[in-house]
Chain A
Amino acid sequence: MLKQRSGLLLALIVFTLFLLWFVSIRQSLLFVVGIGLGLVLAGMRFGFTTGWRHLIEQRDASGAYAQLLLLAIAAAISLPLLAAYPGELSAALGPPGVSLLVGAVVFGAAMQIADGCGSGTLYKAGLGIPLNMAILPMFALGSFLGSAHLGWWLDLGAMQPVSLLDSAGLTGALILTFAGLAAIAGLCYWWSKGSTVQRPVFSKGLMIGAVLLAILAVLNLVIAGQPWGIVYSFGLWGAKIAQATHLFDPSVNAFWSQPSNATALQQSIFLDVTSITSLGILAGALLIFAGKKDDRQAKLNTTQWIVGIIAGFLLGYSSRLAFGCNVGAMVSGISTGSLHGWIWVALAFIGSLAGVRIRKYYRY
């Protein structure tokens, strides 16, 4: 086991050096940040999806509290940084509209069925969980199709992105963000009062995980100039394959003809910020897997496989419509003062209420 881990560590060092020499120092640093994210997510089993499910089914708010701590720390550092360096750092600002409404609800339901959001699918695939490994390519296909249809969805109705920093200033944005987080914490406290679960309200492991994830998310912002994101990378991978098959012409597509997206299609994936951190998450999770004893997983039947894979496709499609997943829309959106992050949370939670029922129906 130690030998496996050492070999893997060596391979990751070699790849980091490759990035440093042949791509850029920035991308090699971002890969290391991604490994850190993977280590924390997989090592601490920090699951956004599971936290929400435990809150809904068992009235256990420990996961939700950890997520609120992550958001609070990330916002407390990111918002002042964004206010001080507006030309060098950008927020995760998505436009509220029909696509966000539909996308967030579907994503919330699908993530419960597939047992993983964007980050969850990545780290569970890295840990070798079969369903999540199978879901990853479907996630990429869904993300690609969602991005390719995004222009059509936006035509149904969308407003300009709303930045709390621009609308209310730094102090106002901080007050609004913390007030929103406190309100959610209050609701979680009220809901979890009747819980019969014998777990501590504040799980030490999850709290440490939340602090580490917040630090790494801020590092991502400082190094890349943009917040942590995941699903853009999946869409890009899918778009590259579609382009190679000549079935897709990006020059006539509303999303992929945008200059930044068209450039990303032409250049190496190793130059894309979200791809390199996503790859790091997979690698970090693999490091955890290499140091772990085998843990048995329940075998899925054919129906469960089919439903899981459809949910994986929907995860990808809906996350593009919703302008992000739990990471790109919720963590990055809320911590950088985007209104769409708050709308996303409310709607994805409604979707999750349905998702846990569907999950139960198919006996996952």
Chain B
Amino acid sequence: MAQLKTTRILAFWLVLCGFFVWDWTHSNPVNLRLESSIFALGSGQAPSGGHCASFGK
């Protein structure tokens, strides 16, 4: 039973990691020169990420 559960979790993470690797290789490369500051608070920049409560910016 425990072994079955471990196998199930392993399969789940393999699929998930596979998706993330695929995405990493197919997305635009990360431009480290445009890296955001460590904390948004005090950065002087408006947040630009997507959020469930917003339609988009």
B37 touches A236 (CB 8 A): no
1/0 per residue, CB under 8 A from B, across A247-279: the answer is 000000001001111011011111111100001
Query: In the complex, what's the smallest C-beta–C-beta distance from B40 to chain A, in angstroms?
Result: 3
B23 touches A268 (CB 8 A): yes
Distance in Å from the Cβ of B30 to the closest Cβ of chain A?
A: 6
Instruction: Determine how close the nearest CB of chain B comes to the CB of A221; give it in whole angstroms.
Output: 8
Known: A261-B56, A274-B50. 18 other contacts (CB 8 A): A26-B39, A88-B44, A133-B9, A224-B49, A225-B43, A225-B47, A255-B56, A259-B56, A260-B49, A267-B30, A269-B20, A270-B30, A273-B51, A296-B1, A323-B52, A327-B52, A332-B51, A340-B53
Interfacial residues of chain B within 1-57, with CB under 8 A of chain A in the complex: 1-2, 5-6, 8-9, 12-13, 16, 19-20, 23-24, 26-28, 30, 32, 35-57
Contact in complex: A259, B57 (CB < 8 Å): yes
For window 83-132 of A, CB contacts with B under 8 Å fall at: 85, 87-90, 92-95, 125, 128, 130
Smallest Cβ-Cβ distance to B40: which chain A residue = A225
The yes or no answer to A223 lying at the interface (CB within 8 A) is: yes
Partner of B12 from the list A125, A263, A294, A329 (CB cut-off 8 Å) is A125
Q: Is the CB of B53 within 8 A of A329?
A: yes
Docked CA distance A338–B37 (Å): 27
Size category, A interface: 35 or more
The answer for the CA separation of A227 and B40 in the assembled complex, in Å, is 11
- The answer, among B6, B40, B49, B55, for a CB contact under 8 Å with A89, is B40
Contact of A269 among B13, B27, B52, B57 (CB under 8 A): B27
Per-residue 0/1 for A208-233: is the Cβ within 8 Å of any B Cβ (1 yes, 0 no)?
00000000000000111111011110
Nearest residue in A to B45 (C-beta to C-beta)? A88
A320 to B51, CA, bound (A): 10
Which A residues, 56 to 80, have Cβ-Cβ distances below 8 Å to chain B? Answer: none
Residues from chain A with Cβ under 8 Å of B45 in the complex: 88, 225
Q: Are A268 and B38 in contact (CB under 8 A)?
A: no
CA distance A93 to B56 in the complex (A): 11
